[in-house]
Each structure stands twice: as structure tokens, then as C-alpha cells.
Structure 1
Amino acid sequence: MKRRNFLFATTCLPLAALAGRPLAAATPADQLAIGFSMANVLTLDPAGSGSKERTQIITNLYDCLVGIDPADRTRLVPELAESWEVAEDSGALRLTLREGARFASGNPVTAEDAVWSLRRVLEQNLAQATNFRIRGYAAETAGEDFRALDDRTLQIRLPEGTDPQIILLTLAITGTGSILDRKLVMEHETDGDQGRAWLALNSAGSGAYALQAIRANEFALLVRNENYWGPEPAMRRILMRHVPESQSQRLLLEQGDLDIAYSMAAADLESIDDDPAITVQTAIGNGLYYLAMSMADPVLSDPRIRQAVLKLIDYDGINAAVMPYYGVKHLCPVQIGLGGETFDSGIARDVEGAKALLAEAGHEGGLDLSIRALSVPPFDSLAAAIQGSLAEGGIRAEIITGDGETVYGAMRRRNFQMIVGRSGGQISHPDGDLRSILVNPDNSDAAGLTGILSWRVSYRNEEINRLADAALLERDKARQDEMYQQILGLYEADVPPIQPISQVTDSVAMRSDIAGLAISPVWQTKLATVTKDR
């Protein structure tokens, strides 16, 4: 029987190969070849977008002050900070950096680098800034919020009433908490951009690997960081190849040209199930696959239309046919393991009820809408399945596929109707999902809260905002859980513009002689521990 692990819990390659010539089978023992999609890798600046695929690269180039234990996403582990404590007045965190840590450039890692990196996230105000802003930090006060006390000690202000664990978990998010080599970055500053243009295609971290080269929608080549503070990685080079087609990933894996395939479709994973040379590892991951509907759209602003859409979706059928290896059915905006599994959603398929709602809203003959989705699995297949479900009720949904800019760019501009996406808070706490999906501090266009899904879909509920703030301060766990259930009830009553369909599962196929791969539940899989038995 096939050896498949399910975790429910928490090569210097020839340049000719990079140019597109076939690779020789059996990659070198000290070089790793990974197939995945780069369609949503728009920049390698840690302050930029937080897509899964981008995170898979950046987490191996940059360290955070603290990290997430891949076996238990609620547990913090040291990275650049060897220790941390809450100040006596409970107003700040103090973190002590490990002694002797250096960036890949050879420059020492200092507290000044750390505070500059954290301030920079807010000052650049790209997608990762949202993770700080929702916790009470702002570019205007970053100089006081993040301070270096000496070369190895930094202090971070705790917003009033905030659980220190929430801030530490925020610091552990790749991108938000990634620490940059300030000296190297500023050598490449252009017009006051703090190295933003240069960092799109270069790295300046202290991670186990450094970026040697990247070509958009072709490959990213990582080389071992000889100045890495941790144990020396077994792999000298890592080639992350853009192989968006699942069948191509499968064939390359079977031939030995790939060691690991990150994004194979269910059908191809099924087809290799009995191959003794390949192992598939599946784990409950981070995030939710969802259908988002813009409340700024004149049609979808009508709750009857949104309700009709939700009644038409065949949640059971879609999860059974499309989502194996990608996700498991989950209709709650709080993830499995964080309390969402206890919520009893009232959503059920009702085609006739949907038709009645459409008729009541003046669309007895049906209506035309559009769904945007990335042109890679499972997004394209999920969009097609939803399209089929909607058609049974008279909703004709045009599918618009493309890259990250086509899909999420339109969403950030609040210029779309429906989108099939994937998201979720990376904080291992219900509050993380609420801040990512439900809470919207300011719904104005000027607010530009592009990292918050509720802002993107123009949804704001004052009572949900209030209860989320109150729950964060509640120290009685039972009472806090009650408040979160109340929030979920309010959200469902609003006819959710963001409807989760599946909880993400991460399925990784690899050659059976690969060992040491620990899938991170928050997409931050470190490759420094990977070895080959060759």
C-alpha cells in the first residue's frame, strides 16, 4: 500500500535546464528541485503581498524574530531572538537577539536592523502592513513603538489591552516579521523607496538560503547561506521551478526531475497513490477557500441575490469532487482547530429557494455575473464547479481567469463581482481570522485596507467590530468562546459576502528518499531540514 502521511493537527542545475531544456533524471544528492506555481509571486519584498507561493520562497530567505512550530501552530520557537519577556509594567515586549547571527551578506544582525525592518513594513504600507495596523500600530508612531535598546535588545510597545501572545504571533508571520539587512537594502535605495524595487528580485535576509536568481514565471534559484546561524542545511541549492500544470509536475516527479511537487491536482495525486517511489503528505493547513461577493456591486449589494448564490452552491459535491488533497469542507470563517469546527452553519443547498429569491429581487429570468479565479488548481476547478451550481438556478457566471494581479489586484481595487480565493489569518487564534475576514475598521475607499477581506468586499458591521475588540480582552475562555460564536451568528445573519467553502489542506508529493520535510500549517515550510537518502 502507498505510504501517505496525513497530519491532522495542527542542485546546481545546468543553465540549459533553466532555459527550458529537459533535466536529467535523479537530481544531485545536495540539490533540491521543487515544482510549484509562480503565478502569484509578484514581488519578493517581504513587505509585499502574502500569497502562499511567495511565502514558500521568502520563508527560506528571511528569519523572523520568532517562529511557529510546524507541529503545533500555537507554539512559538526562537529564530533571531533567543529569548523574550514582557516588561514589568506589561506595556512592552523585550527581545534579545542571538549572539553572532549574521545576514547572508556577512553583516551582523542587530536590533537596529530588526526595528528598521518592522518600521519599514508600516512605512511602505503594502499588504503586510495590515497585520500590524489591525493590532494598533501605525507608521506615524513606529519610531516609538519599535526601539533598539542596544545592539542585541529591542523593545516593542504593546497596544493597551492586547494579549502579548498575539503580538508575538504577528512577529512570526513571514513578511510581516521578516528581518532585513538594513545596510545592504539601503545601498540599493532608489528615490526613497527603502529598497522596494531592488527587493522585488533580490534578497537581504539571514535565512538558511539566499536568492541567487529569479525569473518571473520561470524559476527561483536559492543557494545555501554560508553565514547561516543554524545547523548547515544539507541542500546546497534549491531550484523552485514554475510548473503550473499539475500533469507536468507529476511527470517530472515520476521521472526524478523534481524532488518535491507543491501544487499537484487531486487527479494526479490519485494517479501516483500506488507508486512506491513517491510519497504524498497531507496536513491540515492554514486558510480557507472562499467565494467573495462585492457589496459595492449594485446587484450583489442586494442580500437576496447573495442569499440566492449561497443557496445554489453544492458544498458537499464540490468538496467531494474538487477539493480532495486541497481542502476539507468547512463553512465557517474561523478555522478548524481554532473554534470554527463548533459552529453549526445554517447554510444548505436549496435551488428552488434560490430561484424564488432571484424572482423576488426582479431577476426571474436569471442574471449575469462574473467570477474571477487564478488560472491554477484548485481555483480554476473550484470556479467551474461554482459556475455549474449557479447555472442550475439561472445565474450565468462568466469565469475570468488570470494571474494574481487579474484576480487579487481587482479585489484590492474593489472592482469585481465575485472571486474564488484563499485566505485566512496566520495568527493561531480566532481573532486572527476575524481580523482578516470579518472586522473592518474603516470602509472608506481612502482607508486602503487592502489586506482585509471585509474591506475588499465593502462589508462592515459595527457590532462585530465591537465584539471582536471586547473578546480579545476577555480573559475568561468560556466567555470569550461565547462571544466568538455570537460574532459568527451576526455574520451569518448578514448574508456573508465572503463564504468559506473548504479549510485548506496542504498536499505535498515527494520522492520517497526525501526526509525531514515538515509542512508548516501557516505556509512557512523551512527547507533547511530536508535531506536525501542517496
Structure 2
Amino acid sequence: MSFVGKREVVSVFCLLHRMRAKVVGLVSLGWALLLAAGLLVGCGDLGNSSPANGASSATSPVVATNGANSSAAPPAPTVSATLSISRLRVTQLLSDTLVVAMSEDAISLDPARATGRTAALIHKATYQTLVTWSGSPSDPPTRLLAESWEVSPDGLTYTFQLDARATFASGNPVTGADVVFSFNRLRNGDGVPAALAANLAEVTTPDPATVVLTLAAPDPDFLFKLAAAPFSVLDRATILAQVGGTVDGQASQIAAWLNSHSAGSGPYQLERWTPGIGAVLVRNEAYWRDSPALSRVVIRHVPYAAAQALQLAAGDVDLALDLRADQVEPVRNNPDVSILTGVGQGTLLLAASTDPELAGPLADPAVVRAMRHGVDYAGIRQLVGTRSVPMVSILPVGHPDALGVDQAPIYDPELARNILLEAGYQEPISATLSYPDVTLAGVPFGAVARKVQSDLNTAGFRLSLSPQPVPAAFSAWYSGQVTLGLWYWRPAYGAPSAYLAFLPGGTMARALHWTDETADETILTIRDGLLQSTEGAARREAWASAQRYLLEQGPYVPLVQPGVQIGLNSQVQGIRYHPQWWVDVAAAAKPGPQ
């Protein structure tokens, strides 16, 4: 079978109608299953088959509930409840395939260029890093491709010994030359993730089993960064064979090839990726660790939460990764569906360009300060869901250095208008709010954008909306074309330094043209202090100074820290939420049809 794009989305009603006509007279479930398999070919393929992984799941803050153990009173009948098919469902028929519905946000699958959740989920399944997270991203990294490592007393040199068992899907052994090739592609490339390797001065391999990484300056969070997907180790020989044996001048060709192939050592291989449609992963039969239980993973781009909920309740998908909070209660009494809930580590925020030629008045810190008082945070939290939590500044709730809630901006439209008047703006400020037109991580971007528009239009602004497809939204954002954006950001790794992305020169700040050249000396001094203050009271004070500056002068309006609502077929086992890759599909298992 092959992945055929949008046509593979099977209507459950179509499936049942055809099955009802053909199953009559069959006396065994085995015959019914054979027939159903034939019907799936006719209606469009959901993926192929073969079994799956002993890779350990990350520990998770989420709570799983379903109808079997929920004590909540049953809600009124809903569409999602009435569409439940408990006996013979599409996902039960495909017992060795995991079908995932999510809002796809990938713009590339090249680890050196990719951003977003979709790429992170796929890379977790297809590639491996020297070290990984054993639990939450804030836990110390543990070994993966590296069997051991040592750090020099000055903190500048990291020496890794590779696991001799590690092999790529091609059968090639993982060697130091592969690490050198992969890390040099990252640090010398022009992708957004290259910022993670900015402090990496040199990568050498004195022998095939050893890798030496030399830093330009000590970085206590370096191991945390190495666990991030951009530091995936790629199969050098396989890639060079695709581009004539040399990497010189082949950056774009390699990136294009990696969009349709994987070259990693993970439990799965990329069979196909069609942007805006989905992807198919197939089991790596040469995987050097415990093989995953499921032979295929089909990822469908389903941009709206309502459609994901319907497909989950109908049995068309096994996982729905972008459910809204208000969709949780209606399915709690459905024994076929379980829900993982909790608080995520992402940030929903407004961000304004600091380039006056591009953004006009929005580049004025006083204008953004007015915005911070013109937004109804409680109302936005209701839209995003009660599992979301208010934010004071860029650091999330639970971060040891986050400011207290008593320092959060207050919603006061009159104060917002007065700030604008004092700054010399007598007329409403016109602006366009850009955002991806999806429900992503449970956030209904369109509803939030309309709420922001309504709020700010009563606080001295005249906002228009510009919804965009995800690829266009990402492209405009990272190329610095957005004047005012509604954005969802999550840290690339679990250490506190990940939030330096918001300060001048960081990945978030660069998209807003906030660099060393455009920022004032106050914030540059604060940022440099954070680079040197790694723990204790000095770090807390440095972060407090940074957050206070951002509340007065920064280009951000943090809105909420969204919750997590993941729906899954209650027969699927092994799924846990992880803020870096959302779910580890290689840990999933399913029983055969009953």
C-alpha cells in the first residue's frame, strides 16, 4: 500500500456502508477483517504493516482518563459520542499501524533546518542524538548513541565514546565521521536551529569510536542542547551517495533529499512526507535496539480540533494531538477514548517587530506596553481552556526564576489608551495581526486572534487579521516579514538558557529584528549577565531584571501557557506526553482486533 494524500482520509460512514453490504453471510471475524482490508485499498490507504519498540517513554505530567474510570457525570449526548464505533473500527483493523491526527507545522524535515512539533515527532522516531532525555527535559540527559563521555575541567572539551552497537537504517555503523558531518552541517548552515551550535568551535574524531567537541566558551547547558533534534546524527555515506560524493555546494540538494528520506538510526524510517497532507513512517527492520511494536505510523494533517475529535471518536485515528480543552468533557464517558491532560511548556504570545521601517508605531516599546494592558487575559484563557495558566513574562509557570503573578500586567483598556496618548498617538494605531490558521497544541488560533482584535480595538488600536496556512506563516515569521504575530513557542531544550531565545540575537528576537545592533545597552548587559550567571541568586536576579525589562520595553505580550489535551484510542498503550517531541510513536503498541 502507499500513502495517497488527502484521498486516504476514509469516511467512516463510507467504510461502514461498504462493509455492511459485504460482510453479510460471513461467519468469522477473520473473513470480515480480510474484506475490510480490501475495502481500505479501495477507499484510500492508511498505511502498511509490520510490528514495534521497547524505547522507553518519557515520564509525563499528564493524567489519562476515559469512560472506564471517570467519576464525572455523563455529559449530554454529543456528535463525538454518537459516532463511537466500539466493535469494528478502522484503527482496530490496522492493528500494526498507528494513525496520528495533528496540525502539521513542518517546513522542513532536515534536522539542520526543521522547526515545529511535527518535525520533532518525526525526528524522535527516525533519528538519534548522542544523548537524550530520560524523563522531563529538565532532567540530566542520559546516553543514547554515546556510551559515555567526559568533560574537561575548564568546561570547553567534551569527549564522547560511541556505542559500538549503533547502526543506521542502511546497516552502516554510526561513527565519529557521521557526527562530524552532521554537526558541521548544523553549525555552518543557515537554518534556524543553527543557533544551538553557535558556541561549538570544533568537531573532531580521532578514531571511529570517539568524538571530541570543543566549545568557544563554557556552557553548562551544552548537554541539554545536544539532546535536541537538530543535533541528530545523520548517515554520512548514504547522504553523500545521493549527491555525488561531496557536500560542496550541495546544501540545498541534501536538504531536499532529507525532506523525502531519512538517514538516521532511529526505530523508524521516513517513507513519505507531503507538506500539508501528512507523512508515513515505516519500521526500521535493522534497528539496533528493541524493535518498535507497530510497523507503520501514518501522520495526517488535520488542522482543526473539531475534525480531529470526530475522527478519533469514529475510530479513524488512534491519536489526536490538538484537541481543545472544551472537547475533553464530551468524550470522558466514551470507553473507546482516553485523554491525556496537563500543563504544557509552550507559550502563546503576541510579538511585534522592532524594525520601525517595517512595523511603524509597533516598533515603539510604548505601543507594545499599551498592548499588554489592552488584552483581556482571563477571556483568552477561557478560549484556550482552563488547563492553561496565566503568564507574567516569558518564563513559564514552574520555572524557578519566573516573576510572581503579582507582577503580571493588568487588563485596563483605559490605561492602554492613556499610554498611547502620552506617547503621542492621538489616533488609533492600525496594524495587521498575522497567525497560522489552525488549532495547534489545543490553541484555536482563529478564535484567539478575533478576541485579541476585539480587545485591542477598544484600547486604541485598529487591528485587521491575516490568517495564513502554516507553511506561509512559518516562512513569513522566520524571514522577519511579520509586523505583529500571534505565535506559539516552545523551548528547544529543557535548560533555563533556552529562554534566551527571547533576548536580542536569540531565535525569537531575530525574527523581530531585535539584534545586538538594534537593542539598547541595558538589555544587552542583562543578557550577557545571564550568559555568565548559571545558578543561584545571581541567575535569579539576572532573570528578574530581564523580565522586568521586557514588561516595560520588550516586544512581547505573553498571553497564556496552554494546557495539553491529547486524545487516544483507549487500546493504544505506551503513549506519554513529552514537551520536546509531544509523543514517542515508537513506544506505542496496540492489541489485535477483537
Report the TM-score when normalising by structure 2: 0.79
Q: Is the 8 A contact 1:233 1:528 kept in 2?
A: yes
Note closer, same or farther for the CA distance 1:346–1:100 as it changes in structure 2 (3 Å cut).
closer
1:284 to 322, 343, 348: 343
Counterpart contact for 1:189–1:195, Cα < 8 Å: yes
CA gap of 1:341–1:533, structure 2 versus 1, over 3 A, is: farther
Partner amino acid for 1:73? S
- Asked which structure has the greater CA Rg, the reply is 2
Question: Which aligned pairs between 1:351-366 and structure 2 lie closer than 5 A?
Answer: 351-366=413-428
Alignment deviations for residues 171-209 of structure 1 (CA, whole Å, 9 cap, x no partner): 1111x2111111111222285226112112221111111
One-letter code of the match for 2:103?
Answer: S
Tell me which residue corresponds to 1:448: none
Q: 1-side partners of 2:578 and 2:321: how far apart?
A: 13
Amino acid at match of 1:149: P
Distance 2:468 2:109 in 1: 20
Q: Which residue of 2 aligns with 1:185?
A: 239
Q: Does 1:147 align with 2:204?
A: yes
Q: Is the 8 A contact 1:333 1:340 kept in 2?
A: no
| Secondary structure of 2:140 counterpart | strand
Cα distance in 1 between the residues matched to 2:101 and 2:290: 25
What CA distance in whole angstroms lies between the structure 2 residues aligned with 1:49 and 1:421?
Answer: 17
Alpha-carbon distance change, 213 to 161 in structure 1, aligned in 2, over 3 angstroms:
closer
Q: 2:392 aligns with which of 304, 312, 331?
A: 331
Does structure 1 residue 453 correspond to structure 2 residue 508? yes
> Is 1:368 aligned to residue 430 of structure 2?
yes
Change (3 A) 1:476 1:302: closer
1:447 corresponds to = none
Instruction: Look up the match of 1:402.
Output: 468
For 2:188 and 2:215, the matched residues in 1 are separated by 19
Q: What does 1:113-132 align with in structure 2 at a 5 Å threshold?
A: 113-132=178-197
Matched position secondary structure for 1:531: coil
Distance 1:324 1:48, change over 3 A: farther
2:498 maps to amino acid? G
Q: Aligned partners of 1:203 and 1:74: how far apart in 2?
A: 28
Q: What do residues 201-251 of structure 1 show as CA deviations (whole Å, max 9, x unaligned)?
A: 221111111011222222201011111122111111110111112222111
Q: Is the 8 A contact 1:70 1:519 kept in 2?
A: no
> What is the aligned partner in structure 2 of residue 310 from structure 1?
372
Q: CA separation in 1, counterparts of 2:6 and 2:371?
A: 47
Q: What is the root-mean-square deviation in Å for CA atoms of aligned residues?
A: 2.3
CA distance in 1, matches of 2:134, 2:344: 13
CA separation of 1:259 and 1:346: change in aligned 2, threshold 3 A: closer
Counterpart amino acid of residue 572 in structure 2? I
Most deviating of 208-217 and 463-472? 463-472
CA distance in 2 between partners of 1:16 and 1:349 (Å):
45
Query: Residue 274 of structure 1: which of 303, 321, 333 is its match?
Result: 333
**CA distance change for structure 1 residues 381 and 29 in 2, over 3 Å: closer, same or farther?**
same
User: Hey, what does 2:360 align to over in structure 1?
Assistant: 298
Unaligned runs of 5+ in 1: 1-11, 441-450
**Amino acid in the other structure paired with 1:401:** P
Contact 2:224 2:495 (8 Å CA) reproduced: no
Query: For 2:409, which of 320, 325, 347 is the aligned residue?
Result: 347
Cα separation, partners in 2 of 1:457 and 1:88, compared to 1, 3 Å? closer
Indicate the larger mover: 469-478 or 515-524. Answer: 469-478
1:66 match: 131
The equivalences for 1:213-252 within 5 A come to 213-252=272-311
**In the alignment, what sits opposite 1:160?**
217
1:444 corresponding residue in structure 2: none
Contact 1:439 1:454 in 2 (8 A): yes
- Extract unaligned runs of 5+ from structure 2: 16-88
Whole-angstrom CA distance in 2 between matches of 1:84 and 1:461? 40
Deviation, 1:524, is 5.2
Match of 1:319 in 2: 381
Equivalent residue of 1:488, what SS?
helix
2:5 and 2:486 mapped to 1: Cα distance?
37
* Offset, 1:362: 4.5
Task: Give the paired residue count.
Answer: 498
**Structure 1 residue corresponding to 2:117, chosen from 21, 33, 52:** 52
Say which SS state the counterpart of residue 585 (structure 2) adopts: coil
Alpha-carbon distance, 1:350 to partner? 0.9
Aligned mates of 2:534, 2:255 — CA distance in 1 = 41
Q: Deviations over 1:38-85 (max 9, x none)?
A: 2x2221111113112221222211111111234453231221112222
Contact 1:332 1:340 in 2 (8 A): no
Distance 1:472-1:16 versus aligned 2 partners, 3 A rule: closer
CA distance in 2 between counterparts of 1:527 and 1:355 reads: 49
C-alpha change, 1:103 and 1:218, in structure 2 (3 Å) is same
Structure 1 contact 424–433 (Cα < 8 Å) conserved:
no
Q: What's 2:564 paired with? A: 506
Q: Which amino acid letter does the alignment assign opposite residue 399 of structure 2?
A: L
Change (3 A) 1:471 1:414: closer
For the residues of structure 2 that align with 1:415 and 1:192, how far apart are their CA atoms? 27
Look up the equivalent residue of 2:215 and give its one-letter code. L
Could you say which residue in structure 1 is the equivalent of 2:148? 83
Per-residue CA deviation, residues 368-404 of structure 1 (Å, 9 max, x unaligned), is 2110000002222221111111122242211111123
Deviations, residues 258-288 of structure 1 (Å, cap 9, x unaligned): 1101112333333223322211102333321
CA distance 1:33–1:424, change in 2 (3 Å): closer
Q: Distance in 2 between matches of 1:81 and 1:169?
A: 14
Structure 1 residue identity aligned to 2:354: M
With over 3 angstroms needed to count, the CA separation of the structure-2 counterparts of 1:330 and 1:340, relative to structure 1, is: farther
Alignment partner, residue 197 of structure 1: 256
Q: Is the 8 A contact 1:219 1:241 kept in 2?
A: yes
2:27 aligns with none
Q: Is the 8 A contact 2:416 2:460 kept in 1?
A: no
After superposing the two structures, state which structure 1 stretch, 302-311 or 98-107, moved more: 302-311
Inter-CA distance 516–352: structure 2 relative to 1 (3 Å threshold): same
More deviation, 79-88/14-23: 14-23
Q: Is the 8 A contact 2:107 2:474 kept in 1?
A: no
Amino acid paired to 2:465: I
The normalised TM-score by structure 1 is: 0.87
Matched, 1:101 2:166: yes
Summarize the Cα distance change of 1:347–1:117 in structure 2 as closer, same or farther, 3 Å threshold.
same
Contact 2:383–2:447 under 8 Å retained in 1: no
Q: 1:130: how far off?
A: 1.1
In structure 2, C-alpha distance between the alignment counterparts of 1:220 and 1:14, rounded to whole Å? 8
Asked whether the equivalents of residues 335 and 341 of structure 1 are also in contact (C-alpha less than 8 Å), the reply is yes
* 1:250 partner letter: A
Aligned residue type for 1:358: L
Q: Which amino acid aligns with 1:99?
A: A
Distance 1:109 1:470 in 2: 39
Letter of the aligned partner of 2:473 in structure 1? V
Matched, 1:26 2:81: no
User: What does residue 383 of structure 1 align with?
Assistant: 449
1:521 matched to 2:585:
no
Query: Does the residue aligned with 1:421 lie in a helix, a strand or coil?
Result: strand
CA gap of 1:249–1:32, structure 2 versus 1, over 3 A, is same
Identity value in percent: 27
**Contact residue 373 and residue 401 of structure 1 kept, 8 A:** yes
CA contact (8 A) 1:81 1:96 kept: yes
